[in-house]
Copies of this chain bind each other. A is one copy, B any other.
Amino acid sequence: MEDTLSREIIYEGRILKLRRERVRLPSGREGLREIVEHVGAVAAVVMRSDGKVVLVRQFRKPLEREILELPAGLIEEGESPEDAIMREIKEETGYRPGRLERLLDFFLAPGFTDARIHLFLASDLVEDEQSPDEDEQIEVVTLDLDDAISRFGSEIIDAKTIIGLLMAKEC
C-alpha cells in the first residue's frame, strides 16, 4: 500500500491527464509517483473465415514511424467497450463483425499509467465500407496469423498487437 499524502494535477489534455502524488512508502519514507491517467482503449483480433487476420498500418507520432497493429482506438464518452470496438473495426477496416468475444483486459504500463485495453476477438465478418476518421491515414493489411507473428520485432512492435496475435495462435 502507498497512501497518498498530496496530489497535484499537472496537465489535463485531450486523451490523457498527468498527476503527481506524494505517497507514504511501505518503508515509512515519502516517495513521489508520476501517473498518467488515460481514457482507456479497445483493440481486436479481426479474424476472417479463411483464417487471415486483418491489421492496420499507420503512422505513430511517439515512435516517428509506421507500424502494423490490431484495429484499435479510444473509448469515447458514453460508449461501452463493445460499442467502441465495433465502431473502430468498421471505421478502420470496413468489416462488420457478426461475432465478438472478449479475449482479455489488461494494463499497458502499470508503473506509470492506468491505461487499459479491452481486447476482443471479432469474427463472422461482413464486408462493408471503410470509413476512417478524416484525420487518420490507415492502410488495411490482411495476413496469415503465422506471417503476422513472424513480423514481431520488425513491423509489429506494440504490446496489444503482440498479445492479441499470441492469444489467437493459442486458440
| A interface, CB within 8 angstroms of B | 1-2, 10-11, 13-16, 18, 20-21, 23, 25-27, 29, 31-36, 38, 41, 59-63, 67, 69, 72, 74, 104-115, 117, 134-135, 137, 152-153, 157-160, 162-163, 166-167, 169-170
Contacts and interface: CB of A to CB of B under 8 A. Distances in A.
B13 A35 contact: no
A3 to B, nearest CB: 10
B112 A27 contact: no
A166 B170 contact: yes
28 contacts: A2-B59, A2-B61, A10-B10, A10-B11, A14-B32, A16-B112, A18-B18, A26-B135, A35-B61, A35-B62, A36-B113, A38-B112, A41-B111, A62-B114, A63-B107, A72-B111, A105-B153, A106-B152, A106-B153, A107-B159, A108-B108, A108-B159, A109-B113, A109-B115, A113-B113, A159-B159, A162-B163, A169-B170
A13 B20 contact: yes
Contact of A110 (B1, B60, B170): B60
Contacts of A26: 59, 135, 137
Total copies of the chain:
2
Given A10-B10, A36-B16, A36-B36, A162 B61 contact: no
